[in-house]
Amino acid sequence: MSNKNPLTFQELLFTLQKFWSEHGCVLQQPYDLEVGAGTMSPDTFLRVLGPKPISIAYAQPSRRPADGRYGENPNRLFRHTQLQVILKPPPADVQSLYLESLVAIGIDLRQHDIKFEEDNWEWPVGGAWGVGWQVMLDGQEITQYTYFQQCGGMDLDPISGEITYGLERIAQFLQDKDSIYDIVWTRDAQGRELTYGDVRLHEEQQFSAYAFDYADTAKLWEHLNLYEAECKALLDRAKIVFGEGSKAEGSGARAQGSEGDAADALTVLRFPTMGAYELALKCSHTFNLLDARGAISVTERVGVMGRIRNLIVGVAKVYAEQGRLTARVSESAGEQASVVGA
């Protein structure tokens, strides 16, 4: 490779995080639930909704049970790591900024072939789509760039730019490794190399076995149904809470500034939409496990995906509405404060 001292896997992560931190991003920790991609973390899926700008970056371990290969395939993983960057709204020439990040991790652009190939992204279960590019580096897809257009079936305004780096692929590329498991993760105090395999192989072996051989499909179906039921119940409650909340405001209760009103605002603010989202994510992951286990027929598949779509899109709609209501309440609170101050 062009670089004689390529970054280790963890240095790669540090460097990209530092790069985006220096470009004004909030650095967030990985989301602590099973997700199939960084997009599904609420730091992307929910934050792209509504008008509030945000720049945020986080590594996200992404679980795809069906992609597991018991650690025997050098290029496929049950769980890989994405570095997700959300820029809302995206800067004008985001591609140049992205190329700078490649330089930061030691890629000499003039020594490589980089192409931006048109690639439009779609996640029907999340009612989400966008347009963008896949970035090809010497024939390897290393990043996906998307201008988010819709999420939860709603037009986004402003839109968000999403950069998803495939960290294992980039590390393989930097270190010129044929197998993911040979990637140097780090060096210990004595300078000895610890590989990706040293750190993660046993996870791949055990989780592949779980997904393909051990997972109890009857129990998984039960889990799915339970998570779904609780999520639905919350969404139904949201309809009542937000329905009343908006009515109360429309009736002019705001002007009176009664105590009941404040409680309503607090109820809206504290309504656990994010809890509902976690339940929906649980459903999604359970579905993936069932799928890997071969427990979902093609006919059933469409139906179950429709159920999960209803949850996820439902959460997005509630979250957007909650954001609107909360913003109005704090706006009016601000007005009152200024009146008092005067």
Q: How many chain residues interact with another protein (CB under 8 A)?
A: 44
Shortest distance in whole angstroms from residue 59 CB to another protein: 23
Residue recorded with tokens 């509630």: 318
CA distance 127 to 144: 19
Cα dihedral across residues 220, 226, 230, 231: positive or negative: positive
Answer yes or no whether residue 149 interacts with another protein by CB under 8 A: yes
Q: Using CB under 8 A as the criterion, what x/- string covers residues 73-92 for binding another protein? A: xxxx------------xx-x
- Binding segment for another protein among 29-37, 268-276, 278-286, 297-305 (CB under 8 A)? 297-305
CA distance 9 to 197: 12
Answer yes or no whether residue 113 interacts with another protein by CB under 8 A: yes
Answer yes or no whether residue 58 interacts with another protein by CB under 8 A: no
257 dihedral zone (left: phi>0; alpha: psi -120 to 50; beta): left
Q: Which of 173, 181, 196, 212 binds another protein (CB under 8 A)?
A: 173
Answer yes or no whether residue 1 interacts with another protein by CB under 8 A: yes
Q: Which of 159, 241, 276, 304 binds another protein (CB under 8 A)?
A: 159
Q: Which is nearer to another protein, 74 or 153 (CB)?
A: 74
3-state secondary structure of 314: helix
Shortest distance in whole angstroms from residue 144 CB to another protein: 15
Shortest distance in whole angstroms from residue 111 CB to another protein: 5
CA distance 175 to 166: 14
Residues whose CB is less than 8 angstroms from the CB of residue 139 and which lie 6 or more positions away in sequence, other chains included = 113
Shortest distance in whole angstroms from residue 224 CB to another protein: 19
CA distance 78 to 31: 17
Shortest distance in whole angstroms from residue 333 CB to another protein: 25
Which tokens is 70 given?
A: 């018991």
Do 79 and 63 meet the contact criterion of CB atoms below 8 Å apart? yes
DSSP letter (8 states) at residue 147:
E
Residues that bind another protein (CB under 8 A): 1-2, 69, 73-76, 89-90, 92-93, 95-96, 99, 109-118, 120, 130-131, 137-140, 147, 149, 155, 157-159, 172-173, 176, 178, 297-299
